[in-house]
Structure 1
């Protein structure tokens, strides 16, 4: 069935002739949420259009080889630069050591002493405009969230299908495990997403400085040092009733195959397109979705608005987050119909922006930019959440021979028995994101990176700066605004434990000279906890944004979606990406978002089946 093309939202957008084609489903965004979903819908026999603002770099070694993840995240071919804030305090913002400035001569300045005339940009938060989304430029870390991160949705909505036990079936459905013998009931072996681990045989060499640090970490966390070489191969994605309360070493899992090739939604999309079954999937690249269209008849008072398609602008580098964007460049505008549903999967920044440009969001914000209100939903763009990340970084007196040490542990002041720190330690440097990251501090650099899980503050926002769909929104995480002192104390406790473990490295590595959070400290000198807390407050970074279109209960004023991903108060419109999570799911959201996508496919197809029976 066709619907009238133009809604009351025509506003100031130039409208071209409508597209001749229509689809059962339109999916906006090809990342961990949208990409697999589009493939699943097409494989179920429904004509599906997948729209991606970027291109396809699936065969480019920068993206295809997981070891090149730093180059991928820096690559202008796909990079979208969001310049975010961590607080509402301008003075505090200018303490961030990797604050970035536009020098005006085509280069960036990173630091606290910019050249005269430089324009403040802010804190870089790179996203990926490419087929496969941010799963194409990340480090590929694949880790299950705590059971409570799933069960919170059950508690909010009453929908038991979100229970942690049930969600594990989606992991088994998509995983192609390549590191465990077939038959482990916690894993899948026939899915589209390859998972693998590193060789941790280095841990059997007791003479290595890294092994000495490993064994001391075991002592400090109640593990058996004699078993450390075995524990480093423990499955980080194991299942069990007490897993979330277990402090242990693990082998880091990545969504890559055993040959080091990245496994991502890009592979699944391309396999679906190439399949001899000729599934009805269409991929439209270099296309910016400007808004969702609604049926005019349903916009009348008393009716429930129904989404019927999208308006798009075609062309490369149209969005102003793209460093290749040329000011004033626009593309032809057209409209595409969806006879069943529109599914927005643009991520935690772009999904709320698209909803707001379409008239769905806080009424006062929409009215400010003369956007006609389709549905007043105060939670759109609110609740922005992220894990806090920081690192303990130092220089040894000699290079530190070591593999990667991965550990999940609980600090003493954690509010529950659950683990709250995910750390990985090795001879690398990682201090956040800025143009050209990471910094290389020489052959003796050693880092323990920390991800603080279950942060207590969730006060961030994604808000419009205009009604222009090419403009980037204003993104402010408001780190530590709520119960921040508690989160900072946990980070400091984690750093103190790891610093103590470093002192076991022995000769010729000792003494370590710490670069942060206690600059200049040597030999394990412990600087004051309040000084470390101030460091983490001003220098924490993140790249796991979620929750700006959160699933919630009927009684929650800021709930945007119901438990089936449906946007509240409208029909034919869902959001399926990390913005749907009520809280950040564990330490790394990429694989949980792919699980969420598989669940969404099941929910959407179940609704389609019901609708067909009613006809």
Structure 2
């Protein structure tokens, strides 16, 4: 067997490619927050695992390893995979990008920018690290539609406790303290005279918590084991999967720790390996996954900005004695399934792909949270400001649970485009707004061709259904933040609003603001393209144990498995999903 350490750092790859006949118990495709921890967990349970990753290992790249560098991480060409939705960004004749609605002559429309991370550790290596639990109702929904009570919120918390090292909650029995995922709270500067103190006090007054100490508010646990948590509003501390020094923890660190452990767990990491299809045996009445075929070489996927179409890669195969597990993420997992003959039959026939199983739900019902922001510029530069804090709210159209997550601070984040974000200087202050539980779930991931190196066609179909309900909720968040901003003392104010009501047009109508939100809403939390569902749901791709319907020895374990977006940020729920899958897989062996 090849040296696992050499493979981790990308060496000896040609030897790995030559070992096409090597057999492992499990083959896992993709090293993100679903596949990466699962691979480590199964290896630590004594099972031989091959983890295939299309990118390389950038764990020592400070853009990736330091959580506050997430904007740099999102723009780093060594890890970036450039996906695009249906409009807004253009490729110019000279190979650059134009962002806007009046592109230069000859520019090619690409879409709304949606960067993903093609590297060991997946998108958990370039996100902002926000680690928030979903509402209990999100877990309970899965239990209800599948009839599997192990998904109930009361049963899912054990997975959080197992995986986390909650440094911010020492001694709490409701949190874990020995897991691989270190979680800390972002500090907020509350010294007398700091602008952060001024803003937090204003936000506290606006939420009716002005008599509670500010230190208590900015350290409130948004992941508390509290039956009233999902209905509680106000200020909370922001949680991130990083240690006290700001170093990113999670996928990459856990994979590396497993490979380097003196126990010599049987985990093999093979980098630069783009999986092209799943191999099946048809010796029985039910197709059975036997392994995968892949192309080996750097930058073989067209989303990679370093992609060279003339570089074909070397074909290799790997065999699994137990299972193949796909964890390529919301865009690539459905693409791999479809390229392997699992998906809507008519779409597969269009590209002359033999149909293994007609599963119409593959690549459909994609969901995503809507995000927008209100940005204002003060009358002077801000002083003594730290990281953002969270404000949880209920909109006027919310049901019982809160449906708005705001993170407010001296920052500028307006979405994604090549080179984001725009810097407005030292007077900028923003509340970014995430709408939890959008009412439209109509996105699609469709094949562009049968070439596995081609990106699929991705269409979010934002606001296709119940648009005014969602727009009203988001606008409620904007108005709340604006009213709070207006309370700042003279000197710091008056404000100049950048958007959605650019100064001096401070009286723009609700219709105008909703149109701005509709056109400029962004996202980075897509899920649900390979959904778990009940036996009576013809669009369900997976059962409650992550098993792909209609075949044997094949599962999908990543954010594509969620029936709907879990809460405001899906990364922590996906880590928990991985623990849930570990439990299901090991139980099947017994």
Q: Same fold by TM-score, threshold 0.5 exceeded?
A: yes
The answer to whether the Cα contact below 8 Å between 2:395 and 2:477 also exists between their aligned partners in 1 is no
Residue number in structure 1 paired with 2:52: 51
Residue number in structure 2 paired with 1:389: 371
In structure 2, C-alpha distance between the alignment counterparts of 1:273 and 1:565, rounded to whole Å: 26
1:271 aligns with 2:257: yes
1:203 aligns with 2:203: no
Residue number in structure 1 paired with 2:327: 345
Change (3 A) 1:17 1:273: closer
Residue number in structure 2 paired with 1:252: 238
Shift of 1:410: 3.0
Residue number in structure 2 paired with 1:80: 81
| Pairing of 1:196-595 with structure 2 (within 5 A) | 196-200=184-188, 202-203=189-190, 205=192, 207-298=193-284, 303-401=285-383, 402-521=385-504, 525-595=506-576
In structure 2, C-alpha distance between the alignment counterparts of 1:486 and 1:62, rounded to whole Å: 38
Shift of 1:135: 0.5
Is there any run of 5+ residues in structure 1 with no aligned partner, and where? 1-15, 86-92, 94-98, 610-615
Residue number in structure 2 paired with 1:27: 28
Shift of 1:328: 2.6
1:147 aligns with 2:136: yes
1:70 aligns with 2:53: no
Shift of 1:106: 3.0
Shift of 1:519: 1.4
Is there any run of 5+ residues in structure 2 with no aligned partner, and where? 1-16
The answer to whether the Cα contact below 8 Å between 1:156 and 1:552 also exists between their aligned partners in 2 is yes
1:188 aligns with 2:189: no
Q: Deviations over 1:302-324 (max 9, x none)?
A: x1111000011000000000010
1:600 aligns with 2:581: yes
Residue number in structure 1 paired with 2:5: none
Change (3 A) 1:307 1:472: same
The answer to whether the Cα contact below 8 Å between 2:532 and 2:543 also exists between their aligned partners in 1 is yes
In structure 2, C-alpha distance between the alignment counterparts of 1:169 and 1:526, rounded to whole Å: 49
TM-score by length of 1: 0.91
Shift of 1:461: 0.5
Residue number in structure 1 paired with 2:104: 115
In structure 2, C-alpha distance between the alignment counterparts of 1:247 and 1:462, rounded to whole Å: 35
Q: Deviations over 1:104-146 (max 9, x none)?
A: 2232222222222111111110000100000011111111110
The answer to whether the Cα contact below 8 Å between 2:203 and 2:235 also exists between their aligned partners in 1 is no
In structure 1, C-alpha distance between the alignment counterparts of 2:194 and 2:490, rounded to whole Å: 10
The answer to whether the Cα contact below 8 Å between 1:408 and 1:419 also exists between their aligned partners in 2 is no
In structure 1, C-alpha distance between the alignment counterparts of 2:240 and 2:469, rounded to whole Å: 31
1:164 to 139, 149, 153: 153
Q: Deviations over 1:75-117 (max 9, x none)?
A: 00010000112xxxxxxx4xxxxx2221122322222222221
* Structural RMSD (CA): 1.5
Secondary structure, counterpart of 2:213 in structure 1: helix
Change (3 A) 1:213 1:521: farther
Shift of 1:161: 0.6
Decide which moves more: 154-163 or 393-402.
Answer: 393-402
The answer to whether the Cα contact below 8 Å between 1:404 and 1:424 also exists between their aligned partners in 2 is no
In structure 1, C-alpha distance between the alignment counterparts of 2:504 and 2:442, rounded to whole Å: 34
Secondary structure, counterpart of 2:295 in structure 1: strand
The answer to whether the Cα contact below 8 Å between 1:215 and 1:225 also exists between their aligned partners in 2 is no
The answer to whether the Cα contact below 8 Å between 1:204 and 1:229 also exists between their aligned partners in 2 is no
